[in-house]
Structure 1
Amino acid sequence: MADISPIDMQKALKGADYPANRDDLVALAKENGADDALVEKLSNTGTEQFDGPNEVQKAVFG
């Protein structure tokens, strides 16, 4: 499995409006062509709501 970079995450979430819930971000990532590993990591975060892209980065990359 390829490593996921913060740049990949930024591309996957391009156009996101915050605050956003996890399910909306997962759907957006899929629409933006994110790879399955990135979508899975985003789907499995314990956070339901994100106030901005920095929160997403912290939740996904720890």
Structure 2
Amino acid sequence: MAQHPAHSQNHRHPDEPPPQEIARVLKGADYPMGKEKLIALARSNGADGEVMAVLNKMTDRNFDSADAVLREAMRAE
């Protein structure tokens, strides 16, 4: 039985925002930064509903870099 494309290692679900879009709305972050401040920054940088939904699903903790945020965001999707 073939694996569903959304569950494949190399494919995102069509409704999931691309990592570069998440990185774009977090431009200007001053790490370390907590989840709530990241969400506020993303909102002020014009994040759409899909990005905001992913950020809201993330673990509530301090992130020390953009890479840490992106890793957590990809898990939260």
TM-score, normalization by structure 2: 0.74
Counterpart for residue 18 of structure 1: 31
- 2:73 counterpart letter in structure 1: V
Match for residue 30 of structure 1 among 38, 43, 61: 43
- For structure 1, the residue ranges without an aligned partner over 5 or more in a row are none
Deviation >4 Å, runs of 4+: none
Counterpart for residue 67 of structure 2: 54
Larger relative contact order (CA 8 Å, sep ≥ 6): 1
Superposed CA RMSD in Å reads 1.3
Instruction: Classify the secondary structure of the residue corresponding to 1:26.
Output: helix
Q: Which has the larger radius of gyration?
A: 2
Number of corresponding residues? 62
CA distances 1:39-58 after superposition (whole Å, capped 9, x unpaired):
11111111411010111011
How many percent of aligned residue pairs carry the same amino acid? 32
TM-score, normalization by structure 1: 0.90
